[in-house]
Amino acid sequence: MSKKFFALASLLIILSLTLGACAQPRPATLKIAILAPLSGAVPTFGVSTRDGALLAIKEWNAKGGVLGRQIEAIVEDSQCEADPAVNAANKVINQDGVKFIVGEVCSKASIPVSEIAEEKGVVQISPTSTNPNVTVKADGTTKQYVFRACFIDPFQGLVGASFAINELGAKTAFILLDQGNDYVRGLAENFEQAFVEKGGQIVGKETYTSSDTDFSAILAKVAEAKPDIVYLPDYYNIVNLVTAQAKEKGITAPFLGGDGWDSADLDRAAADGGYFTNHYSEQDTRPIVQQWVKNYQAEYGSVPDALATLAYDATNLLLAAIQNAGTDDPAKVKDAMAAIKWEAVSGTITFDQYHNPIKPAVILQVKDGQIRYVTTVAP
Amino acid sequence: MNAQPPTLLERILKGKWIGKGFLLLVGLVVVWWVGGKALQSPSLFLQQIINGIQLGFVYALIALGYTMVYGIVRLINFAHGDVFMFGAFVSYFSVGLFQLHLWPVRVFPGLSPTAAIILGTVSVILLSMVSCAILAITIERIAYKPLRDAPRISALITAIGVSFFLEYFGALPFVFTPNFITYKRPFEIVTWYVKDGIHRLEIGTEAPPGSVIFSNVLIIIIIVSLILLVGLNYIVRRTKIGKAMRATAYDKPTSRLMGINVDGVISTTFAIGASLAGAAGVLYATAYPQVVFWMGIIPGLKAFVAAVLGGIGSIPGAFVGALIMGQAEVISAGYISTPMRDAVAFTILILVLLIRPTGIFGEPEREKA
């Protein structure tokens, strides 16, 4: 009996030693996880984000990688929802041993992922999550390991409000928002605050839920209130439904939104005449923008949207920070990131104390089936 | 020992009228409150009523399918909402890809534009109805028929399974994709406003204050729904198959003994219900122009509530229940807040189940042989 036990025990020890040795090969590549919503509510956002990030990695690999190592991308579908995003983050950190994450796209998914990243000491840079809570903890301190490549909701709300008042001459605004969406709520609250501070008047505010399709009841109220502008900072799927129904209700006030409008699936006929704030315009003439548009077109055959651009910028920022740190130790990379100054496609980026980039925003208009560049607003 | 006469409190607690009294109270509060809102701005109130009618008629078409199938096989066909989604997608493909709505113009170039639009729209709706009928017969043969003599819970769970299958099969990239897709209507929107008579409202212009706006979508929804309802009524009341359906609903084994092809009747019922859902899918997508694979879930549940409210198994009940649901939803969205609309819809379900489980038109459940 004891002999048998000894044999079994020694077998187990030998097995665990060999398996242990197998499980830890020398890391030949530097792994970067890309968390993008490839399915779910906003799959076009996910595809653009993945493509932008992969192109950045491809360009770095062509130049010899970072720190002499090739970069390996691990793409996970995080569905723009908290639970799948958390599962994907745990998978890449615990199973794949990833120390760097690019993602998620949506604030409501990025916020829970950022808590994991901060706890595990993994550097996360979200390309497009604009809610302040992505990089800031509940107690107001900055999450040391979490960054973003886009400006935040207060800024988009502020830009939207000052554009409405200064350029469009709006005096009254009606706000439509999805109370259950952090991104939409963040933009709407900051628009409201800035619009009132600048002397505008909010004549109505209505909420809906993301599964609504019939907006007739609240649009009847908008038609009754006759505002100068309707602020609708939601994603393109809701924008398509609301603007299509608004046209039939005799609402002539222009709609104004945020970067959630930026999608190839935006119904340009329905949203005609609407404006939105965005991160970049491919009509920008800076050489870095034109070079990026050219490279993206060569790779994927289409013009890059803001999602792809920010994912490209975010991945570049992360890799530049690793290069500057001279090591793949996340604790050093995060310090290099906080101190970076990088000329990105969406403008020259530096980080403020809350790890939000300081850079300009553009205003675009949907007109006659085209997206037209209107103006750039610096912070 | 003398039996004490029941005290007032006991009478209230035991009496059946507590439910009715409560319902009356709730009803009075709602009427008083809605009435107050209506007087504040009558035109906005009328506008909301019109919005509610538009929604209610679509729900009615879906609710009829639930109620017919339940009336005959006692199955709550939860896949019905997804058949509705399928109908919307069929019309999306027939309009967007194959431009079926333009065939009258191509075949008869001399046709007047109005006639061409009507003919084109009708053929789009008919194609969706036929496709949904075929889909429903297939589902019935594959999933429900083998369970005809199984406990009702098995069939119910199968229905939920079929519902999930249709949704997630539809979400596959080579089927309907998981994306939100903008729906192209088979006709152009025309809008009118009512103020001192009916006037045409050009798109992009504002209606004068105090006017009520409606569009040709509303008219088409009402006309198509009424035609289908009258047709359904005719089939159920006046034709041989209708008689067979009523007999099967009343007593399946005896109907079989009398020489009625019960399986055929059940298939026909599924097909008719599904074709109404298919028409509802086209109308819904026309009114709210976006299609996505899960679009049938919420309208399906709401129509189910409408069918229960009207008395599940009752055809006029489904129609009345759906109109009430449409109004309740739009009024609560318009005067409380939009997120409340779902809460109100399902509160209605709970209240009906608590107070009058058989619904407005329902009869108490008959014991079956």
pLDDT value for A238: 93
CB A94 within 8 A of CB A282: no
Backbone angles phi, psi at A377, to 5 degrees: -120, 120
Assess if residue A22 is contained within a domain.
Answer: no
What are A204's strand-pairing partners? A174
Alpha-carbon torsion (B237, B238, B242, B247), positive or negative: positive
How many Å separate Cα B226 from the centre of its chain?
13
Three-state secondary-structure class, residue A94: helix
Closest CA to B35 of B344, B333, B347, B331: B331
Same domain (yes/no): A165, A94? no
Same domain (yes/no): A289, A145? yes
Output the furthest CA–CA distance in chain B (Å, rounded): 94
User: Do the Cβ atoms of A211 and B206 come within 8 Å?
Assistant: no
Which tens digits make up the pLDDT trace of B151-179? 889 999 999 999 999 999 999 989 998 88
Closest B-chain CA to A79: B178
* B217 neighbourhood in chain A, CB within 8 Å: 248
pLDDT value for A15: 52
Residues 6+ apart with CB under 8 A from B122: none
Q: Which pLDDT band, with edges at 50, 70 and 90, does B22 fall under? A: confident
Per the model's pLDDT, the better-predicted residue between A43 and B8 turns out to be A43
Same domain (yes/no): A135, A220? no
DSSP-derived secondary structure letter, A304: -
Burial of A56 (0-12, 13-18, 19+ CB in 10 A): buried
Q: How many domains does chain A have?
A: 2
Three-state secondary-structure class, residue B150: coil
What are A77's strand-pairing partners? A36
User: Do the Cβ atoms of B289 and A241 come within 8 Å?
Assistant: yes
Q: CA–CA distance from B231 to each of B197, B227, B238, B276 (Å)? A: 32, 6, 10, 11
CA–CA distance, B229 with B219 (Å, rounded to integer)? 15
E strands present in A86-194: 100-102, 123-126, 146-148, 172-178
User: Do the Cβ atoms of A248 and B295 come within 8 Å?
Assistant: no
Q: CA–CA distance from A88 to each of A115, A116, A123, A329 (Å)? A: 13, 11, 15, 22
Same domain (yes/no): A33, A136? yes
pLDDT value for A179: 84
Assess if residue A5 is contained within a domain.
Answer: no
Which of A104-113, A153-162, B7-16, B180-189 shows the lowest per-residue confidence on average (mean pLDDT)? B7-16
The full length of chain B comes to 369
Enclosing domain of residue A247: 154-278
CB A151 within 8 A of CB A129: no
Residues 6+ apart with CB under 8 A from A286: none
Three-state secondary-structure class, residue B250: helix
User: Do the Cβ atoms of B179 and A224 come within 8 Å?
Assistant: no
pLDDT value for B369: 35
Query: How many CB pairs (< 8 A) connect A and B?
Result: 112
Burial of B172 (0-12, 13-18, 19+ CB in 10 A): exposed
* Most A-contacting residue of B181, B288, B341 (CB-CB within 10 A), to test interface: B288
Amino acid (1-letter code) at residue A66: V
Structure tokens at B128: 């969706």
Backbone angles phi, psi at A131, to 5 degrees: -70, 135
* B178 neighbourhood in chain A, CB within 8 Å: 39-40, 43
* B341 neighbourhood in chain A, CB within 8 Å: 212, 217
Per the model's pLDDT, the better-predicted residue between A348 and B326 turns out to be B326
Tell whether B233 lies on the interface with A, counting CB pairs under 8 A.
no
Backbone angles phi, psi at B32, to 5 degrees: -60, -45
User: With a cut of 0.90, is the ipTM above it?
Assistant: no
End-to-end CA distance of chain A: 77
Assess if residue A217 is contained within a domain.
Answer: yes
Same domain (yes/no): A67, A146? yes
User: Helix count (H) and strand count (E) of chain A?
Assistant: 11, 15
Closest CA to A251 of A203, A209, A211, A285: A203
Residues 6+ apart with CB under 8 A from B109: none
* A48 neighbourhood in chain B, CB within 8 Å: none
CB A362 within 8 A of CB A373: yes
Closest A-chain CA to B330: A217
Closest CA to A311 of A326, A338, A292: A292
Residues 6+ apart with CB under 8 A from A93: A33, A101, A116, A120, A122
Nearest to A43 among B179, B329, B333 (CB): B179
- In the sheet with B191-194, reading across from the earlier edge strand, the strands are B198-201, B191-194, B212-215
Nearest to B191 among A41, A250, A252 (CB): A250
Structure tokens at B247: 């007999």
Same domain (yes/no): A256, A313? no
pLDDT at position B6 over 80: no
Q: Which residue has the tokens 């003439």?
A: A285
Domain end residue (candidates: A239, A262, A278): A278
pLDDT value for A322: 93
CB B232 within 8 A of CB B271: no
Which tens digits make up the pLDDT trace of B267-321? 999 999 999 999 999 999 999 999 999 999 999 999 999 999 998 888 889 999 9
The Cα angle at residue A240 between residues A236 and A242, in degrees rounded to 5: 115
Structure tokens at A13: 């020890």
Helix or strand holding residue B91 (H, E): helix B80-96
The full length of chain A comes to 379
pLDDT value for B121: 92
Nearest to B333 among A179, A218, A251 (CB): A218
Structure tokens at B93: 């493909």
Domain end residue (candidates: A253, A278, A303): A278
Same domain (yes/no): A128, A160? no
Closest B-chain CA to A211: B298
Report the CATH number that the domain containing residue A309 is assigned in CATH. 3.40.50.2300
Same domain (yes/no): A41, A143? yes
Same domain (yes/no): A207, A248? yes
For B26-56, b/e burial (b = at least 16 CB within 10 A) is eeeeeeeebeebbeeeebbbbbbbbbbbbbb
* Most A-contacting residue of B41, B45, B47 (CB-CB within 10 A), to test interface: B47
Q: Which pLDDT band, with edges at 50, 70 and 90, does B367 fall under? A: very low
Assess if residue A21 is contained within a domain.
Answer: no
A104 cis-preceded (ω within 30 degrees of 0):
yes
DSSP-derived secondary structure letter, A192: H
Q: To the nearest 10°, the Cα dihedral for A288, A292, A295, A298?
A: -130
Q: Packing angle between helix A306-325 and helix A330-338, nearest 10 degrees?
A: 110
Of the CA atoms within 13 Å of residue B317, those in its CB half-sphere come to: 22
Radius of gyration of chain B (CA): 23
User: Do the Cβ atoms of A206 and B338 come within 8 Å?
Assistant: yes
pLDDT value for A263: 84
Closest CA to B147 of B157, B155, B135, B139: B155
Residues 6+ apart with CB under 8 A from A107: A129, A130, A131, A133, A134, A182, A183, A186
Assess if residue A347 is contained within a domain.
Answer: yes
Helix or strand holding residue B303 (H, E): helix B297-310
Which tens digits make up the pLDDT trace of B67-117? 999 888 888 899 999 999 999 999 999 998 888 888 888 888 888 888 888
Which tens digits make up the pLDDT trace of B24-53? 888 888 888 888 888 888 888 999 999 999
CA–CA distance, A257 with A230 (Å, rounded to integer)? 9
Domain end residue (candidates: A254, A278, A302): A278
User: Do the Cβ atoms of B189 and A248 come within 8 Å?
Assistant: yes
Same domain (yes/no): A159, A261? yes
Nearest to A244 among B180, B213, B289 (CB): B289
Q: CA–CA distance from A286 to each of A350, B140, B151 (Å)? A: 18, 62, 70
The number of beta carbons lying within 10 Å of the beta carbon of residue A59 is 15
CA–CA distance, B212 with B208 (Å, rounded to integer)? 9
pLDDT at position B23 over 90: no
pTM for the predicted model, two decimal places: 0.78
User: Do the Cβ atoms of B338 and A209 come within 8 Å?
Assistant: yes
Closest B-chain CA to A39: B178
CA–CA distance, B304 with B298 (Å, rounded to integer)? 10
Q: Which pLDDT band, with edges at 50, 70 and 90, does B366 fall under? A: low
CA–CA distance, A131 with A39 (Å, rounded to integer)? 21
Same domain (yes/no): A187, A225? yes
Low-confidence residues of chain A, pLDDT below 50? Answer: 1, 17, 20-26
Same domain (yes/no): A292, A144? yes
Assess if residue A369 is contained within a domain.
Answer: no
Residues 6+ apart with CB under 8 A from B258: B247
Assess if residue A18 is contained within a domain.
Answer: no
Amino acid (1-letter code) at residue A258: G
For A300-327, b/e burial (b = at least 16 CB within 10 A) is beeebbbbbbbbbbbbbbbbbbbeebee
Assess if residue A87 is contained within a domain.
Answer: yes
